[in-house]
Chains A and B, each alone.
Chain A
């Protein structure tokens, strides 16, 4: 059984993700790493309504009893934990970010907060979208360099020391994309206010 405090954390972050429109009813998944164990959302559970039995514990390296129940994207979470120092992973389907990922190879914030926090979010492409080793490796590799990445047409993967932190990057990304969309829709000449703004694309 997972510690009550750990469940609380999952429940709060899951709820916030749903309320913030970062996932649909059954979409997305989140996990934390505890030593050589992973605690991850159960397959098919609703992030916005997590119950204690919706959390599955399994090995970082090895499969055990929990694995059949775990999220289909467990393989990606494992790959991320093995390739990066992350202790928490948040996978979401942020709608505006997904829309922008369809036409861009990277998302560069134009607002101040987004520039400050994220600088640049790369967009990666994987042919078979869900839970394949190729996808796992591509995402994990990108997360060695960036704390949040977009998978084209699919969604975001973010890392952090806590779920709270990985959620912060995810929510910030969606804000970044919303602002880009508004600015784009307004179609007015932009006035650059950030020093060295060209450098963000090299981040």
Chain B
């Protein structure tokens, strides 16, 4: 079997032991790599008795079979762990160069266990793995650490945490190649709890291919798809991801002032069009990516990357702020401290509403752009009120007696789509197994952009089927591993054929999607084992009761009937537990014995 490197690296930070074990190929063909492999390993390694910050929690870094092959967007990797923010199974996924170099060092995955006594970093080269002292790096920012360890995207990639990870901010990110982030759910905090500051990789081993000629042909046809698609060939390169800001606002689905409204009167000021006109230097790309959605930008304070759509929204509309300069600077700081911008912005928005309702004594009020940068710094360093915000919006809102004001699902802050204006997206957030998230499937294409075909965003009947399909596709993309933006133009069929040609294992499209279903159900079982129930597949009451504004005026989320349809369509019972027949069909029945 080709495509996989066949090796897993094991690092025990407690004992300092480093070993290499063969990749279980049966497991790999079933769960593929990346997120799927990570979830399967995590199932065995981290049970419900393990606290997220315990040395017994693990960090699993995993490439996929496609990683480093040169296939379009084959630059990604995933990090799996038990989330300190949500308590769910977690994987966060990132692009750049690190994943490519890691795989070329000869590994499919690395499992990091234990806790180092003092700060360390790991250096992985083809001729060996060493653990170095990192005391001199502790406390330093992401950019400082990357530079100190010799970041050079062409041969040496640095992955690290910033002060936020060290300080166990519950939504701290793991950063790589200085500016790319595996951010959601707080993997950086777990890394900090292990006293692991960074992982440096160098590698040159090429990935072997089963049928190189066929693989290259699939790649050739995929290139045609990317070039022909107006999103990947024009909209993303020209305007970046924030091109959707004005669109989502026009339909009344842009969550504003902590989701009190779904229309932001100043959206244009923080849109992709304005970013391009006012602050863009140029666009740039991750390794092997022809799309190039990344924004290199400048403000009066300096240069950096972003903001992406979600970040422009979280520090912008969510906080009632339309000062693009302040938003961009805050985004730079958030990246350099190593934090998830969605959770950071949404938690600030929550604090603003708590303050305006007289429940919290602070200066944070909607529209206070002047406080953004300082607040984000305070979160990263856990200073003053920042120490409380560092716990995320769910814990913050609960502490001040208004848990309903946290705009989160399973304690993970929701991204920039209002479920009242996009019914399917609401179901997707409610059922996402890492909490409120748009990367576990996204209804944007189906409900708004018409990719591949437009369906009515306000329709309720039949939405479960689309949500499930997108959830499985996302699980596949996260496991092979490729970028979801490539999937805007390149259908699952192409990835299946690329994977088949690469590995020599036959993956008909239908079977590959079924692997996505297997991964989804395993993650569900993991959460059930942790004690999550049907009640956790929910949305904040505001979205179910308070009508939306703007282009979705009067709408609320109809989660109830959609959720029922969803469970039935998935072959789960009324409590959201997979039925025996479904588990047997997916080959999970034996694993599930301890849960179901």
Contact = CB atoms under 8 A, between A and B. Distances in A.
Interface string B517-531: 000000000000000
A34 B492 CA distance: 21
B220 A196 contact: yes
B221 interface: yes
Residue of A32, A84, A161 ringed by the most chain B CB atoms within 10 A: A161
A144 B508 contact: yes
* SS class, residues of chain A in contact with chain B: loop
Nearest to B467: A35
A36 B569 contact: yes
A196 B215 CA distance: 12
Contacts of B566: 35
B286 interface: no
A83 B510 contact: yes
Contacts of A145: 508-510
Interface string A42-85: 00000000000000000000000000000000000000000111
A122 to B, nearest CB: 12
A127 interface: no
Contacts of A199: 213-214, 217
Given A35-B566, A35-B569, A85 B462 contact: no
B473 to A, nearest CB: 8
Contacts of A165: 452-453
B509 A161 contact: no
B586 interface: no
User: Helix, strand, loop or mixed for chain B's interface?
Assistant: helix
B508 A162 contact: no
Contacts of A33: 465
Interface string B470-499: 001000000000000000000011000100
B60 interface: no
Contacts of B462: 3, 6, 32, 34-35
B327 interface: no
B466 interface: yes
Contact of A84 (B497, B509, B568): B509
A125 to B, nearest CB: 19
Interface in A132-156: 143-145, 147
B565 interface: yes
A6 B465 CA distance: 14
B53 to A, nearest CB: 38
B118 interface: no
Nearest to B517: A85
A161 B446 contact: yes
Contacts of B374: none
A185 B497 CA distance: 34
A116 B229 CA distance: 12
A112 B213 CA distance: 21
B455 interface: yes
Contacts of B568: 35-36
Given A34-B569, A144-B511, 15 more contacts: A6-B461, A34-B465, A34-B565, A35-B465, A35-B568, A36-B571, A87-B469, A144-B510, A147-B493, A161-B452, A161-B453, A162-B453, A165-B452, A199-B213, A199-B217
Interface of B: 213-214, 217, 220-221, 224, 228, 446, 452-453, 455-456, 459, 461-462, 464-466, 469, 472, 492-493, 497, 508-511, 513, 565-566, 568-569, 571
Closest 10 pairs between A and B when the two form their complex, measured CB to CB? A144-B510, A35-B569, A34-B462, A144-B508, A145-B508, A35-B565, A84-B510, A199-B217, A162-B453, A85-B513
